[in-house]
Structure 1
């Protein structure tokens, strides 16, 4: 193994943690502070952060088995298909994608 690869993996991992903390890692903290007033804010923040940590735990536990196992792409496609069925089960095509013949009737402001 190349000597500098171990250093590169450590630096890459630390960079990921730093950029995740600055970016999407802080979303549960910011969203709850913006959505809730002072009264329910602590409870909402506790629930949001709990869900965030639980999702991180599930990903951390589930990823090694997906990495080692066979048919990983099939499992991912299966999860995506089940998610799409769950999201769109009570809708037809036209309720998800409305017809575009009304685009000419939209008001487009000019500068």
Structure 2
């Protein structure tokens, strides 16, 4: 009986070590956004970021927007739902399909 409990605990610990998300820091240019290769969008999306870092990512995305507050609000909503924000201030939306495909009630792109 004791051996089977030991095996169960050992297997659980091994599975936690094997199936945990892999993290890496940014691309070396000073930004500290974490890039995850596992998670809800992580398997197909190398730009996955945690919701806690949406503010930083959206600030960079909306830095050149003429309507800064509106851009931040829309980007924040999109980031929270999609767990990703495309790099740069515009374009690159193919790197985040969920972000690219989100529409408003009027059929326009929601995410900046």
Q: Is TM-score (shorter-chain normalized) higher than 0.5? A: no
TM-score normalised by length of structure 2: 0.29
TM-score normalised by length of structure 1: 0.29
Work out which structure has the larger RCO, using CA pairs closer than 8 Å and 6 or more positions apart in sequence.
2
Larger radius of gyration: 1
